[in-house]
Chain A
Amino acid sequence: METRLANVEAAAKAAQSAGDNAWMLTSAALVLMMTGPGLALFYGGLVRSKNVLSTMMHSFSLMAVVTVLWAVAGYSFAFAEGTPFLGDLRYLFLNGVGSAPNADYAATIPQQTYMIYQLMFAIITPALISGAFAERMKFSAMLLFTVLWMFVVYFPMAHMVWGKGGFLNAFLGGKIPCFDFAGGTVVHITSGVSALVCALYLGKRQGYPAESMKPHSLVLSLIGACLLWVGWFGFNAGSALAASSLATSAFVATHFGAAAAALGWMLAEWLHSGKPSMLGGISGAVAGLVAITPASGFVKPFPALLIGFAAGIVCFLMVTAVKRRFGYDDTLDAFGVHGAGGTLGAILTGVFATNAVNDGLKDANGKLLPLGWVDGNAMQVVNQLGGVAISWVLALVGTLVILKICSLVLGGVRATEDDERQGLDLSMHGEEGYNLDA
């Protein structure tokens, strides 16, 4: 009897583990698909045809570069226990990261699954920044910048929010309990704010804004944006770290946020300039996905619609009115969409987070604690602002210092005037995207 019971228990555990692992491996693949080809197509279509490959190379090359960094040290810095600001070196070279689960993070899947899943987030984050310096940064500078940026900004930020004992980790003993389900601060604020710094540091593209810099293929961008939308289910629903009802809830919130934001942006555009555009629709969808990212595992479906709709309108104003007012050349609006959308989403998470969706916080007696303002915990909005402030400052200061270092080491981070005029595809990579006479 005892043995049979133990056997049944082991079988049930194995079944859950199999289900969770299947979903998490699928999610990891979905998140990789967001970078390549999702973001590569989205960004690639938005630049001029002479820069399509160089822009796609930003995304694609990071799939290789960040993976190696992650394996060597990145995972350890981000997810090993250590100080509140950075993990220690226990997982250096993935030492001890194998088939046994790490119960602090995800008790039912191999730690190796968790490691590869988190890697995909680390890949897309610097790729998002590339939208700000597209069409004018040297490839060597892009590589050095990213490597340094991962160590200075990403690994510390991921550790603070998601790592055990991290300064902002609401669930594993953080000083400021900040809710960030899938990376509103870690991914979108850091990348978006760093993008703004890059845009300001590099200066405008030659001829901006007098010359025509129309997107060369919104068809590619549409395909990319839709791949991002689908991949985002892995990003957000996968962040439940199990094939659970929380994953379903995050999936629904994600989809609702994207849909409402696409509508919000198109509506704003329709009222403002007379026509709703395809580019507006897909930009809105991405803005909504960004904003719902931190909230996705904490909010009900209708607040998700609201967050998305707000993001559609706010990000529209950011890339039109605000960008024009200040005159910076954020080529593909990485700041306007990811910086602004991420900030808005992080704050609204504090408003709409509810323990009816997420039962992760309980008191000593097992009673659910209130999460956001809707649960009666208005203080959470302040906690969220704390997380926002830290990610803004880290991204601002870190990126500026890194750009200075890159400039010193490489003699400037910007392509020469001739290289930029010729297009980075030819000048950096010696090839062209479209050889129509071939």
Chain B
Amino acid sequence: MALSLPSRTVASEEDEFKIESPLFVVTMSERGLYDLRRKQHLTPGPSFDTGSGFFLGDGPFQWKDHVDKIEYLGFSFDRPWLPPNALKLLDKLKKRPISETETMKLMGLVAEQASLHFQLDDDKIVAMTFHGQIVEVSDTRVGLLKKIQGQKYREQIFVWRVGSDVLSGRK
């Protein structure tokens, strides 16, 4: 069965404005005026910043002056989106030390998300921050540890083997 619509609503946009109703006439007049002004650049569109009220420091805000100084609080390409339980543990970690179990859980959650986000192959050895930012990748443990030995990082990092829950150990 074919879908059908009432004849009044299938009319073209032009036809719609020909409907003799006081309400539509007013609408047509306002829209026509808006379109005319927009074409003549007399008024900005709704997405324009009117330039009022947003100051940073002494002068008006200029995006180009600040783009490298702004810390993005939302999504960022260089780190994964972390699940709420990882964020809770990170918040807790800022206030006090966390237990060994919680540390293992946090590393696991962060590493899992980072591995998915960056599509890392299994068995790669990676060093990453607790926010999931990758700082170094290697094929071997020794290779990775040699690369990061003596290096300073802005954030605390941990080491992980992709696709495994231990980096090394005894059986």
A and B pair up: no
